[in-house]
Structure 1
């Protein structure tokens, strides 16, 4: 009889273990949203979730960083880190905006190039991002420089380039076609397209399988026939191209570009990935989890603003949340290690 009970219970236990980790993250999102809803009625006398306009603004604000987070997630899964994405945003925003200025604007950076088709600043911006990513990936893969150091160097270099490019002056007045890239809900649509593409790539293609394998054990991946160095270059190029895309979108949305654009975006993107369940030790994570982490991040920031919490308190609490997510990931890793 005892044996029969055990056999009955085992399938249920296995089903419980097979529940996707994203479900737990989604439950956290629901819980946080409900907390802000209750606090809203207590302290503000109004609904947090009932204001559609507020939720729309929140999604728009985090979707640009969410594009970066999709690339950063892949880097972290591969066992690396990318601190340069925010600076790539600023540099690419300056370059693309300078090529997207409206014809006849007397203060254009390149008067002879004003009024170019939108595809030109878009492609040039993405190529600039690809170059930054290639340098990051090549240094990490072939010179064995730690990812932290290589991307930190690119962070400083790209930010310096953004300041040098126009001597610190803002660049404005883009063509209408370029501005449309950031108009309305376009940033959200672009994020969703990027998220779907790379969810499929990470889950169903060799690119994704190789990325997970390298992050779990680079030496084992190399022995199994994966060209680890070449694949790492691909991962960093993709991450930087997505950062460049975010730079183009944020510049188009604000219809101006400044050298300081994208400041701290890299840390917010890393936070979204970690909150979404991506392990900083590599080998684990998902684009769906990062997408939920992005919404959690947005709900927290929007909720703090809704409750009129001072900005410096918001920054401190944001830091605590990031550390808590890392501690939780470390605990999960230790627990998994004990079971094995």
Structure 2
């Protein structure tokens, strides 16, 4: 005996699997919280200083956040697959110095292209080196990239003798990268947008992205599924090197010379803080570009507001550290993880 069934179409109901989520639900609680915090920060400093929300100052915030945003995006990728890179700031310094020194040595004309190419090549090498040490040296990512933080910083200082190198503001390419605009927005911001879209598409709509989430979620299961974890990890760290090189080139273009330390020191903390605030699980397997960019905007707005109000820059470091701790605590609570050393 058969039982008559009524299809969803006949009842006028939409099957649960095809129901569309509301825009707010699609954003997610994490992103809504970041948007709320960003609105509060903008409103607070806007009330304190009438110039804070001016178009010129908002562009300053966007430009200042570009380099942090680039590094935070690739930090998101490496955290998703269960890794970490503390050396990104030093990689930016190396790339900045190399781009300026090669440009100066080559001269104008093709100098900007050659300097950019040299910086990107250097980024690939130092990034891949991190990955090789982690994978084949079996070194914890935190330790390996902490060593890279010191080593690459020292390399940048050795190459530059500890001083800013070259002068690039007589070259139209560097001027365009550092100070040019397209459709009213700084070129630096457009570069960030392009990188963000490319990484988002990779993570959400390709097998590469699905495999990265699988590696971070359960590396044993990923290995049994035939995913080449070692190749993926080396490639991810090489990608970090490339994007760090782009950030270094933009730093050179923005400041007018290669910077071994100034402008790049502390970027690793900002990048990790933005990724954590944006919803990346530090154990891997979770995160996305959208949340990270919102966190970058929040950090940039907060930093600029403190500067505009003349608050000691040391407090900015305090605020960044507090935000990182807060982000991790929230993650631990949401995941239901017990406190270290305490019973459930």
Q: Quick check: 1:91–1:161 contact (8 Å CA) kept in 2? A: yes
Give the CA deviation at 1:172. Answer: 2.4
Give the CA deviation at 1:22. Answer: 4.6
Quote the Cα distance in structure 1 between the aligned partners of 2:135 and 2:75. 17
The C-alpha deviation readout for 1:110-163, integer Å capped at 9, x for no partner, is 3xx222512211111111001011111111112210001111111111111111
Hey, what does 2:242 align to over in structure 1? 241
Quote the Cα distance in structure 1 between the aligned partners of 2:99 and 2:242. 13
Give the CA deviation at 1:303. Answer: 2.3
Greater CA drift, 290-299 or 85-94: 290-299
Judging changes above 3 Å, is the alpha-carbon distance between structure 1 residues 192 and 146 closer, same or farther for their aligned structure 2 residues? same
Quote the Cα distance in structure 2 between the aligned partners of 1:59 and 1:186. 11
User: Which of residues 266, 281, 284 is equivalent to 2:283?
Assistant: 281
User: Which of residues 318, 321, 327 is equivalent to 2:320?
Assistant: 318
Structure 1: stretches of 5+ with no match in the other structure: 1-7, 102-109
List aligned pairs for 1:1-340, cutoff 5 A: 19-20=25-26, 22=28, 24-38=30-44, 40-41=46-47, 43-44=48-49, 46=50, 48-49=52-53, 51-101=54-104, 110=105, 113-117=106-110, 118-174=112-168, 175-184=171-180, 185-261=186-262, 262-334=264-336
Partner of 2:73: helix, strand, or coil? helix
Greater CA drift, 327-336 or 279-288: 327-336
Partner of 1:257: helix, strand, or coil? coil
Corresponding residue pairs, total: 314
CA RMSD of aligned residues (A): 2.5
Question: Normalising to structure 1: TM-score of the pair?
Answer: 0.86
Greater CA drift, 160-169 or 228-237: 160-169
Quote the Cα distance in structure 2 between the aligned partners of 1:151 and 1:335. 27
Quote the Cα distance in structure 1 between the aligned partners of 2:55 and 2:175. 25
The C-alpha deviation readout for 1:7-30, integer Å capped at 9, x for no partner, is x9x97x995899235564244323
Structure 2: stretches of 5+ with no match in the other structure: 1-12, 181-185, 339-344
